[in-house]
Amino acid sequence: MIRSRTLALAALSLSLFSSFPLAAQQPEQIRIDAGAPTTPFPHFWEQTFGSGRAILSLRQSYRDDLRTVKNVTDFKSVRFHGIFLDEVGLYDPDATTQNPGLPPEKVQGAGIYNFSYIDQIYDGLLANGVRPFVELSFMPRKMAADPNQTQSFFYKPVVSPPKDYALWDAMIAAFAQHLIDRYGIDEVATWNFEVWNEPNLDFWGGRPNMPTYFELYDHTALALKKVSQRIRVGGPSTAQAAYVADFLQHCKDHNIPVDFASTHVYANDTAKDVFHTDEQIPRDVMVYRAVKKVHDEIASSPYPTMPLLFSEYNASYSNEPDVTDTTYMGPWLANNIRQCDGLTESMSYWSFSDVFEEQGVVRTPFYGGFGLIAADSIPKPSLNAFAMLHRLGDHRIKLENEDALATRSDDGAVEVAFWNYAPPFGTGAAYTPPPTSKGTDKNFQVTVAGVPSNAKVELLRLDDDHGNAVKAFDTMGRPRGSLTQGQIKQLKAAGSMAPAEQLRLSGGHLQITVPPHGLVLLVVK
């Protein structure tokens, strides 16, 4: 998500060949033993995705993109802001209606709560095999201590504490009871209920922010557990990997229920914000460093086995078209998965679609949006990166390489992802076209032991000419505004995953060249 903070691709090609040219870099050796011991490798990076605010889930385009990403990743839950926004209509204690030319009158038979849109929102998710990851936000205007205390997003969420916690507690209890009545406790008990969003930034108006957030959390957690002890509740849902240790200590000291710890980090967060140091931490290790920090804090807390959920992460918290729109995301994502494995139960990529309005109505499909799918359901390279990495198995084979990841599946197939990470070609809101010279290729010699020496190999690649709609968009001149149907069709075709190549090992070996920002996946049958 975008946050008000200071901001501190690549054409790719990949070739298979039998011998390296004289000028080529010495090949990096990747040796995989298909029969080697493994460690469990749950797909923590694709269990949950973020999305635009709650009401957008009623749009056809949102649900179309949801199904696309579900088919690619089989993700289990989606998290969004604003289930309590006035536009969703839950809380309205004195609801009125007004016809043209007539004075307003009280709605007949209206109660304090109206679950109509909430039911449609959650029904739509569940119908597509996706559960809600329930972020409890923001404040209904008529419940706010200061209804004019709003955050800067396009839809201006009210971030004030409640004027009376008895009203908040009652709404939380009614909300939880309604969900149980509609979906059953066995279903609702599988959901995560997260209290608020990033209370250490301008999404929370209480002052001082952490003590007043703890008050909000305490009221919310106790109200939920009063409805059912089986409801899973957690927090603090902070930005910049902040305050998790303080939060858990607070819960312990005050005997407040907590079932998971959640926080956020983005790869362009600063060391000053995350670690309170003056380091210059590059984009390819910031997320890992933050995840490791919080993992270690939990291990030293009163709850050393508390599940850790990073309920937002991405390569950027702001719109950077050279980052989130481009093939840069392939190596960045793969490397992040390699580093964070074993440190967190789940990482929720922000977000699955650019059906998204935090900065206003989308004006052009490639503006650095956070989603895997651009406007008009045009697939981005990041969608293809997720599709490729979804093919990884559930058992990790240890490698010493820092630019490769190997797994084995239950059926005996071996999967190897490898990449050539390089910084993005540009940063910030203005797009920088790829330079003529894009950097140094990496040469890999892959050896797979424990399989037939001529085993079949399926190869998937993400590069400038495969699965990259941005190159086609550049060729069009990066048109602003709405696209024609012909342009949309062309961009969808350019952004689609290229068909897998069917190859064979030669004496157990395969040699491959990967350019900067390139991602490759081999599946050895």
Separation of first and last alpha carbons in the chain: 39
- DSSP readout, 454-467? T-EEEEEEEBTTBS
49 HSE (CA, 13 A, CB side):
27
Compute CA 333 distance to the chain's CA centroid, rounded to the nearest angstrom: 11
Distance CA 370, CA 318 (A): 8
Copy the structure tokens of residue 488. 């949309």
Q: In 67-181, at which residue ranges do the beta strands (DSSP E only) sit?
A: 77-80, 96-97, 105-106, 131-136
Q: In 276-356, at which residue ranges do the beta strands (DSSP E only) sit?
A: 308-314, 346-349
Copy the structure tokens of residue 234. 């957690």
Distance CA 79, CA 66 (A): 12
Distance CA 91, CA 115 (A): 9
Q: Side by side, which strands form the sheet with 442-449?
A: 15-16, 509-514, 442-449, 28-33
Query: What phi and psi values does residue 354 have, to the nearest 5 degrees?
Result: -90, 20
Q: In which residue are the tokens 């540009």 written?
A: 426
CB of 172 closer than 8 Å to CB of 195? no
**Which among 46, 198, 312, 415 is annotated as catalytic?**
198
For residue 510, what are the contacts with CB-CB under 8 A and spacing of at least 6?
Answer: 16, 445, 446, 448, 457, 503, 522
Would you call 198 a catalytic residue per the annotation? yes
Distance CA 198, CA 264 (A): 8
CB of 381 closer than 8 Å to CB of 468? yes
CB of 315 closer than 8 Å to CB of 329? yes
Residues classed as catalytic: 198
